[in-house]
Amino acid sequence: MLFHQAVLCRDLCRRWWWLLLVLCADPTLFSWYCGARPTYPGIQVSLTATGSTHFALVHPLGTQPDGITSPASPAFVDQPEDNERFRTWSYSVGRYRILGIRDLHADEEVAAHLEIYDGDHIIFEADGYDFNLVDDGWLGQDITGNGVPCVMVEEFSGGAHCCSTYLLLEFGPSFREAATIEARDSGIELADLDGDGLPEVMLGDYSLDYAFACHAASPIPRLVLRYHEGEGYEVAADLMRTEPPNEQALREVAETVWNECQEEQEDGLVRLLSPVGWGNGTTLWGTMLDLIYGGHEDLALEFFNRAWPPWADGKEEALAHFRQEVASSPWYQQVAAQTGMGEIMEEENDRD
C-alpha cells in the first residue's frame, strides 16, 4: 500500500512539477488555486501555466448546463453576480457543444476563451478579448445552404470603435469554419432578403470610418453580403440597389449641404465653410456614398457638382480625396466589380 502511494506521489511530481513551481512563486495564485473558485453547471475553471490570462475548461463527461438539450438548444448564459469574476455561456447543436468564458476582471487582450466539443473531444478553440453568440432568429439554422445547422459567433477585440470579427460555424457530419466577416466596428443583422430561405448579412462599411469626419459623424454606407460556398461572404450588389432619388429630392439635399457650410458668428456675420474641412459637409459625402453603394455612381457625381458650395475652393482636390478614400474600401471594390460603376469614376478621373 505504501509502495503504491509512493509511486503515485512520484508520478504526480513528475507530471505537475510546473504547477508546483507556479504556485510557490506566486502566493496569490496559490491561495486562488487552493481556495474556493467559481463553479458553473457543467463547467469548471482550472489553472494553466500559459501565463497571463488563459483558460482551460474542464467538463465532466456526460454533463452540460441546465436547459441544454439536443439537437439544438437555447443559449445558456450564466450572468455573474456583482462579486463574481467569470461570465460563461453555452450552446449545443446535436453532438456538438460550444462553450465560452470571460474573465470580467481582466483588462488584457486575452480575457476570454472559446471551445467547441464534438462529444467529449475539443475540435476547436480560440483565445481573445470576448466571444458572444449572434442570436437573431437564425441560431442553429441552415445559413450556408448545405442543410446543416450553423452558428455565428462574434469575436470582439476590445477597445474604442473596434473591432468585431464574425465566425460562421457549420455543424454537419463534420465541423468546419465556413466563413469569416471582418466587420470592424459594425454589428450585423441576418435576414432573408431575396426569399431563397437563406439569410443575407447586413452591416456597415466601417472601412470608411474617420474618412470624412469623427467616428460619431462618419457617414457609413450600407452593405449586404451573400454567402457563396467555397468563397465565403461577398457583396450582393443586386440586393443593395436602391431607387434613384428624383430631381426635387437631390435639390433639397444640395441646399442642406450649402446650409451646413455656413456658420453664423456672434457678430451676426456668416462664415462660409468648405466641405473639405473635417466634419463639414457630412451630408455631401454621406449622400454620395449612399448613391454609389445603391448603384447610382453617375448620380453621385452629378450631385457633387450641384451640391458643392460656389464659394468653396478646392473642389477638384476634394473629389480626388473622396475617390481615394472610397477606392480604399475592399467592399467598394466588390460593388464596382459587380456593377461596372468603377468605370464611371475612372472616366471622371481621366477628364479631370
Kindly state whether residue 251 falls inside one of the protein's structural domains: yes
Contact (Cβ atoms closer than 8 angstroms) between residue 155 and residue 124: no
pTM across the whole model: 0.74
Kindly state whether residue 323 falls inside one of the protein's structural domains: yes
Q: Which three cell numbers stand for residue 58?
A: 474542464
State mean pLDDT over 296-310: 91
Three-state SS string over 212-275 comes to CCCCCCCCCCEEEEEEECCCEEEECHHHHCCCCCCHHHHHHHHHHHHHHCEEECCCCCEEECCC
Instruction: Say what the pLDDT of residue 22 is.
Output: 36
Instruction: Say what the pLDDT of residue 79 is.
Output: 52
Count of domains for the chain: 1
* Neighbour tally for 173: CB within 10 Å: 6
What's the burial of 240, exposed, middle or buried (CB within 10 Å: 0-12/13-18/19+)? buried
Q: Which domain holds residue 311?
A: 247-351
Better pLDDT: 102 or 79: 102
State mean pLDDT over 310-314: 86
Q: What is the per-residue pLDDT across 84-121, written as a single tens digit (0 to 9) for each?
A: 788 889 999 999 999 999 888 877 677 899 999 999 99
Kindly state whether residue 16 falls inside one of the protein's structural domains: no
Kindly state whether residue 269 falls inside one of the protein's structural domains: yes
- The residue among 178, 188, 179 whose CA lies nearest residue 156 is 188
Q: What is the per-residue pLDDT across 210-242, written as a single tens digit (0 to 9) for each?
A: 888 888 888 999 999 999 999 999 999 999 999
d(CA 60, CA 41): 10
Kindly state whether residue 302 falls inside one of the protein's structural domains: yes
Kindly state whether residue 347 falls inside one of the protein's structural domains: yes
